[in-house]
Protein backbone atom coordinates (compact mmCIF):
# COMPACT_ATOMS: atom_id res chain seq x y z
CA UNK A 1 0.00 0.00 0.00
CA UNK A 2 1.34 3.40 -0.99
CA UNK A 3 0.69 6.39 1.19
CA UNK A 4 0.15 9.68 -0.55
CA UNK A 5 1.34 12.56 1.47
CA UNK A 6 -0.40 15.85 0.95
CA UNK A 7 0.58 19.19 2.24
CA UNK A 8 -2.24 21.02 4.07
CA UNK A 9 -3.43 24.20 2.41
CA UNK A 10 -2.47 27.43 4.06
CA UNK A 11 -5.47 29.35 5.43
CA UNK A 12 -4.97 32.06 2.79
CA UNK A 13 -4.91 29.62 -0.12
CA UNK A 14 -8.00 27.87 1.21
CA UNK A 15 -9.86 31.20 1.43
CA UNK A 16 -8.64 32.64 -1.86
CA UNK A 17 -11.82 31.76 -3.84
CA UNK A 18 -14.00 33.16 -1.05
CA UNK A 19 -11.97 36.40 -0.94
CA UNK A 20 -12.33 36.73 -4.70
CA UNK A 21 -16.12 36.36 -4.47
CA UNK A 22 -16.34 38.86 -1.60
CA UNK A 23 -14.24 41.35 -3.59
CA UNK A 24 -16.43 40.97 -6.68
CA UNK A 25 -19.60 41.44 -4.60
CA UNK A 26 -18.13 44.62 -3.07
CA UNK A 27 -17.28 46.01 -6.53
CA UNK A 28 -20.75 45.22 -7.89
CA UNK A 29 -22.41 46.80 -4.83
CA UNK A 30 -20.33 49.97 -5.27
CA UNK A 31 -21.32 50.16 -8.94
CA UNK A 32 -25.00 49.58 -8.20
CA UNK A 33 -25.12 52.05 -5.30
CA UNK A 34 -23.97 54.89 -7.51
CA UNK A 35 -20.52 55.69 -6.19
CA UNK A 36 -19.86 59.10 -7.71
CA UNK A 37 -23.61 59.72 -7.78
CA UNK A 38 -25.03 62.69 -5.89
CA UNK A 39 -26.71 61.63 -2.64
CA UNK A 40 -30.16 63.11 -2.06
CA UNK A 41 -29.17 64.08 1.47
CA UNK A 42 -25.67 65.49 1.50
CA UNK A 43 -23.08 67.47 -0.40
CA UNK A 44 -20.02 65.59 -1.63
CA UNK A 45 -16.78 67.57 -1.86
CA UNK A 46 -14.20 66.33 -4.38
CA UNK A 47 -10.89 68.12 -3.83
CA UNK A 48 -9.06 68.96 -7.06
CA UNK A 49 -6.24 70.95 -5.46
CA UNK A 50 -5.55 71.29 -1.74
CA UNK A 51 -4.78 74.79 -0.49
CA UNK A 52 -2.66 75.65 2.52
CA UNK A 53 -4.81 78.41 3.99
CA UNK A 54 -7.11 78.33 7.01
CA UNK A 55 -10.50 76.63 6.96
CA UNK A 56 -13.48 78.53 5.55
CA UNK A 57 -15.81 79.84 8.30
CA UNK A 58 -19.14 81.66 8.45
CA UNK A 59 -17.38 84.73 9.93
CA UNK A 60 -15.75 85.97 6.73
CA UNK A 61 -16.47 86.90 3.14
CA UNK A 62 -14.41 85.04 0.55
CA UNK A 63 -13.31 85.69 -3.02
CA UNK A 64 -13.86 82.73 -5.30
CA UNK A 65 -13.79 81.63 -8.91
CA UNK A 66 -16.82 79.50 -9.74
CA UNK A 67 -18.40 77.62 -12.62
CA UNK A 68 -21.82 76.05 -12.17
CA UNK A 69 -22.91 72.90 -13.98
CA UNK A 70 -26.03 70.76 -13.92
CA UNK A 71 -25.05 67.23 -12.90
CA UNK A 72 -26.86 64.35 -14.54
CA UNK A 73 -27.80 61.05 -12.91
CA UNK A 74 -24.77 59.28 -14.38
CA UNK A 75 -22.35 62.07 -13.43
CA UNK A 76 -22.28 63.97 -16.75
CA UNK A 77 -22.13 67.74 -16.47
CA UNK A 78 -23.93 70.35 -18.54
CA UNK A 79 -22.89 74.03 -18.35
CA UNK A 80 -25.55 76.19 -16.66
CA UNK A 81 -24.36 79.37 -18.32
CA UNK A 82 -23.03 80.89 -15.06
CA UNK A 83 -19.31 81.24 -14.46
CA UNK A 84 -16.86 83.80 -13.11
CA UNK A 85 -14.04 82.28 -15.19
CA UNK A 86 -13.20 83.62 -18.64
CA UNK A 87 -12.09 80.11 -19.69
CA UNK A 88 -15.62 78.87 -18.92
CA UNK A 89 -17.55 81.56 -20.78
CA UNK A 90 -17.45 84.68 -18.60
CA UNK A 91 -16.56 87.96 -20.33
CA UNK A 92 -13.51 88.16 -18.04
CA UNK A 93 -12.23 86.59 -14.82
CA UNK A 94 -14.33 88.22 -12.13
CA UNK A 95 -14.15 86.79 -8.59
CA UNK A 96 -17.45 86.10 -6.84
CA UNK A 97 -17.58 87.30 -3.22
CA UNK A 98 -19.74 85.35 -0.78
CA UNK A 99 -20.20 84.70 2.92
CA UNK A 100 -21.15 81.14 3.92
CA UNK A 101 -24.73 81.00 5.16
CA UNK A 102 -25.74 84.40 3.76
CA UNK A 103 -28.04 84.41 0.69
CA UNK A 104 -26.68 81.08 -0.59
CA UNK A 105 -28.24 77.71 -1.25
CA UNK A 106 -27.70 75.27 1.63
CA UNK A 107 -25.52 72.97 -0.48
CA UNK A 108 -23.03 75.73 -1.27
CA UNK A 109 -22.67 76.61 2.42
CA UNK A 110 -22.27 72.97 3.47
CA UNK A 111 -19.67 72.39 0.77
CA UNK A 112 -17.47 75.45 1.26
CA UNK A 113 -17.39 74.92 5.03
CA UNK A 114 -15.47 71.72 4.26
CA UNK A 115 -12.84 73.68 2.29
CA UNK A 116 -9.75 75.77 3.06
CA UNK A 117 -8.46 78.94 1.47
CA UNK A 118 -6.58 77.96 -1.68
CA UNK A 119 -8.63 74.78 -2.26
CA UNK A 120 -10.20 74.07 -5.62
CA UNK A 121 -13.00 71.53 -5.33
CA UNK A 122 -16.06 70.16 -7.02
CA UNK A 123 -19.17 70.46 -4.86
CA UNK A 124 -21.73 67.82 -5.82
CA UNK A 125 -25.01 69.30 -4.54
CA UNK A 126 -28.27 67.32 -4.55
CA UNK A 127 -31.38 69.12 -5.77
CA UNK A 128 -32.84 69.16 -2.25
CA UNK A 129 -29.88 71.30 -1.07
CA UNK A 130 -29.84 73.38 -4.27
CA UNK A 131 -32.83 75.06 -5.87
CA UNK A 132 -35.19 72.10 -5.36
CA UNK A 133 -38.39 72.30 -7.37
CA UNK A 134 -37.72 75.90 -8.50
CA UNK A 135 -36.22 76.41 -11.95
CA UNK A 136 -33.66 79.23 -12.16
CA UNK A 137 -33.01 81.54 -15.09
CA UNK A 138 -34.99 81.38 -18.31
CA UNK A 139 -35.35 78.32 -20.51
CA UNK A 140 -33.51 78.99 -23.76
CA UNK A 141 -31.65 81.92 -22.15
CA UNK A 142 -27.97 82.18 -21.36
CA UNK A 143 -28.52 80.87 -17.80
CA UNK A 144 -30.98 78.12 -16.95
CA UNK A 145 -31.26 75.40 -14.32
CA UNK A 146 -34.30 73.12 -14.61
CA UNK A 147 -36.31 72.28 -11.50
CA UNK A 148 -35.02 69.34 -9.42
CA UNK A 149 -31.51 69.55 -10.87
CA UNK A 150 -28.45 68.27 -9.07
CA UNK A 151 -25.71 70.90 -9.20
CA UNK A 152 -21.95 70.74 -9.61
CA UNK A 153 -19.92 73.76 -8.52
CA UNK A 154 -16.28 73.97 -9.60
CA UNK A 155 -15.08 76.42 -6.95
CA UNK A 156 -11.71 77.83 -5.96
CA UNK A 157 -11.46 79.72 -2.66
CA UNK A 158 -8.97 82.51 -3.37
CA UNK A 159 -8.95 84.09 0.10
CA UNK A 160 -10.80 86.37 2.48
CA UNK A 161 -12.44 89.52 1.17
CA UNK A 162 -13.13 91.07 4.57
CA UNK A 163 -13.99 90.16 8.12
CA UNK A 164 -17.55 90.63 9.36
CA UNK A 165 -18.63 91.10 12.94
- 75: CATH: 3.10.50.40
**Count of the separate structural domains present in the chain:** 1
The per-residue pLDDT for range 51-75, each reduced to its tens digit, is 999 999 999 999 999 999 999 988 8
- Does residue 1 lie in a domain region? no
Residue 81 CB partners (closer than 8 Å, separation 6+): 89, 137, 141, 142, 143, 144
* pLDDT digit string (tens) for the chain, length 165 residues: 666 665 555 554 554 554 444 544 444 444 444 444 555 689 999 999 999 999 999 999 999 999 999 999 888 999 999 999 999 999 999 999 999 999 999 999 999 999 999 999 999 999 999 999 999 998 888 889 999 999 999 999 999 996 554
- Does residue 57 lie in a domain region? yes
| Beta strand ranges found along the chain (DSSP E) | 44-49, 60-71, 77-83, 96-98, 120-125, 136-137, 144-145, 150-163
Range of the domain at 150: 44-163
Amino acid sequence: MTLIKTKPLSPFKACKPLLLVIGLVAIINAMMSGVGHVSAEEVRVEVLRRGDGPAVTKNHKYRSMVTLYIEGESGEKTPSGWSTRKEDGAARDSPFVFQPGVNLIEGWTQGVLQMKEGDRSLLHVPSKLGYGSRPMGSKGGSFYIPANSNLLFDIEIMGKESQTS
